[in-house]
Amino acid sequence: MQKIKLNNGVEIPVLGFGVFQISNPAECERAVLDAIETGYRHIDTAASYQNETQVGNALRTSGLARDEIFVTTKLWLQDANYEGAKAQFERSLNRLQLDYLDLYLIHQPYGDVHGAWRAMEELLAAGRCAPLA
């Protein structure tokens, strides 16, 4: 899969598999597994899609090594503030059953996006990968 280098050197596969509106849990899990089997190595979800758990289940079932797959999730707008970003990041990681995220996005341009951004800068700078004990 062709990749593009981001401004911090991280490489992202140019084609990703999005799971927006795959709300049926079993269908979502199967779709992500099918996508991985098809060759997708980039999965795009969001807290608001309410299927991070199913994405996590599929990633685990796939047996893919963590560094072979690029995973994105997003912070929903009701939590777009400093504390919200810190807390929701942990919750998303837990649902995805991952030690780290490849990409975390502020989902919508509303709320205290500057506060949320500073929390995300700190998580990034701290190399905060694993959920807080």
Among positions 35, 55, 59, 96, the unique one binding another protein when judged by CB under 8 A: 35
Closest CA to 14 of 1, 27, 28, 29: 1
Among positions 25, 34, 61, 83, the unique one binding another protein when judged by CB under 8 A: 34
- Closest approach of Cβ 57 to another protein, in Å? 16
- Closest approach of Cβ 74 to another protein, in Å? 6
Pairing of β 3-5 and β 11-13: antiparallel
Contact set with another protein (CB under 8 A): 1-2, 4, 6-8, 10, 12-22, 27, 30-31, 34-35, 37-40, 42, 44, 74, 77-78, 89, 100-111, 113-114, 117-118, 120-121, 123-125, 128-129
